[in-house]
Chains A and B, each alone.
Chain A
Amino acid sequence: TLLGMIATDAPIAPTLLPSLLTTAVNKSFNSISIDGDTSTNDTVAVLANGAAGGKEITSESSEDHAVFQETLTSFAIDLAKLVVRDGEGATKFVTIRVTEAPSEVGARKIASTIARSPLVKTALYGKDANWGRILCATGYSQISEPGQPINEVPEIVPEKTSVSFIPADGSAELKLLVNGEPESVDEVRAAEILEHEDLEILVRLGGGKEEAVYWTCDYSHEYITINGDYRT
C-alpha cells in the first residue's frame, strides 16, 4: 500500500487544492510501479494551513498557482521515488522514459506496461541488457484496450521505435535498437551500465512530441521471500 501525507504552511484556497494534488500525483505517485498490484488503501493527502501568511492563492491562472503547482509536483515526484527505492527486494532504481509519442496517454501506457513487465524486471535484476523484453512489453502495451486490434495501435510503429540505456553516470547512451533495427551491442559496456543501481530506459517512438516517465525497480528473489512470508 502507498500512503502519503503532505503539509504546507502556504495559503491555498480549498477549491484549488484537489486539482493541484491530482496534477502532482499523476506525475508522481501514479507514475510508479513496484510489483504491478494496486492496493485497496492507497491514499495521498495534502493539508494547507496558511500559517506562514501572505496572499491566498485563489486563481488557477495566477503566477503563484503555477509556482506552487510546480513545487508540489516536483516534491511529490521526490517522495514517490523514495518508495521505488524501497521496493521489496529491489536492487535497481529504473526510470522508464517514453518519448517522441503522438500522445501523452499512449506514452504513459507504454511506460506503465514496461514498468510492470516481470520479464523486463527480472532481466534488470540479472543485469541483462535484454532490449527484446522491453520491446515486447512496448508492443503489447495497448492490447488491453477493449476492441482494439494490435495493428491499429497508432503510437507504436516498429520501424520507428528505438531503445537505449541511459547510464546514471552521465556517460553516453547505449543504443540497443535504432528505428527497429538491433544494434551491435557492446556487452561489456552494457554490463558496466547495469552494475549501477540507477538506470534509465529510453524508448523513442519516432512519431510525435509527447513523453511520459515511470519509475520502477527490478524483481529479485527477495521479493518472493518477503511476500511468501507476509500473512493475511
Chain B
Amino acid sequence: LDSTIPAAKQKYIPTSGTYPKGFLVSGTHVGVKATNKSTPDLAFLASETPCAAAAVFTKNKFQAAPVTVSRNMLKRRNNTGVRSIIVNSGCANAVTGKGGMEDAEKMGEEADKCFEQPQDGKGGSSIVMSTGVIGQRLPIQKILRKIPTAYDGLGSSHDHWLTAARAICTTDTFPKLLSRTFTLPSSPSITYSLAGMTKGAGMIHPNMA
C-alpha cells in the first residue's frame, strides 16, 4: 500500500475487487497543477460498448463548465449511447466563462475520438468532470495531448481501478473505490457487478439533482 496514505485510512483501501464486465479504466499523469510532477490526475472510464447513463449535478447556481456540458450531452442522447467518463483533478474549470465551456467540450470530444463509434447525430458520448481550484482555466492542451495515452492505458485490473480512483483525488488522503456483486431475481444464475469511485474531502455538502 501507498506509504503516503495515513495509517488510519489504509483500511479503507481495497486490495482486490470484482469489477463489471466491459468497463476499462485508467489513471494518467498530466500535471494539471504545475506542482504535480508524477501523481495521476486524469481518469478515464470507458465502456467497450455504448451504455445507458445518468448523472446528477450540483444545484449551485454557478455550475462549472463540465457540469453544463455533461448535462447537455445526456439530455441530447436521452441517456443512451454513452461511452466514457473523462475526469481531471487539479483544476475545477469553474467560473471560467465561454473559454471554459469550450475546454470542457474539447475534453469530451477528444475522449470521443478514442472510440470508433458511428456518428448518430446526437453529438458527443463522453461525460466530462473536473475538480480542483475554481476560477482558473484548464491547461487544456496538456490534457488533450494525454487523452490518447489515457486510452492506451485502459485496463480492467484492480490496479487500473485503484489508479483511476487516485487520479480524481485533490485534497483527499486516500482513493475511494468499492466494488460489489449481486444477482437479480429474474436471472439468478448471473452474477452482476457494481464498481464505484468517488472523491471529496472539502467543500462537501452536496445537493444534486
Contacts and interface: CB of A to CB of B under 8 A. Distances in A.
Same complex for A and B? Answer yes
Interface of A: 1-10, 12-15, 17-18, 20-22, 25, 29-30, 32-55, 57, 62-64, 67-68, 71-72, 75-76, 78-80, 82-88, 116, 223, 226-227, 230-232
Q: Which 5 pairs of residues, A with B, have the shortest CB-CB distance?
A: A51-B22, A54-B187, A34-B204, A42-B58, A9-B20
Given A8-B193, A25-B206, A86-B176, 12 more contacts: A5-B197, A6-B195, A15-B79, A18-B54, A39-B203, A40-B134, A41-B93, A43-B127, A45-B127, A52-B20, A116-B205, A230-B171
Given A14-B79, A25-B208, A37 B173 contact: no
18 contacts: A2-B206, A5-B43, A9-B23, A17-B79, A18-B54, A29-B208, A38-B60, A40-B60, A40-B92, A46-B53, A51-B48, A51-B49, A52-B21, A53-B187, A71-B194, A83-B198, A87-B201, A232-B133
B115 interface: no
Contacts of B56: 21-22, 25, 29, 43-44
Contact of A5 (B132, B196, B201): B196
A9 B55 contact: no
B180 interface: yes
B78 to A, nearest CB: 6
Interface in B158-209: 168, 170-174, 176, 178, 180, 182, 184-187, 190-209
A36 B204 CA distance: 6
A43 B58 CA distance: 6
Interface string B139-173: 00000000000000000000000000000101111
Contacts of A29: 56, 198, 206, 208
B198 A79 contact: yes
Contacts of A85: 9, 12
B101 interface: no
A18 to B, nearest CB: 4
Contact of B58 (A14, A41, A72): A41
Contacts of B173: 86
B174 A42 contact: no
A32 to B, nearest CB: 7
A49 B49 contact: yes
Contacts of A84: 204
B111 interface: no
Given A83-B198, A88-B171, A43 B54 contact: no
Contact of A55 (B60, B63, B187, B205): B187
A43 B192 contact: no
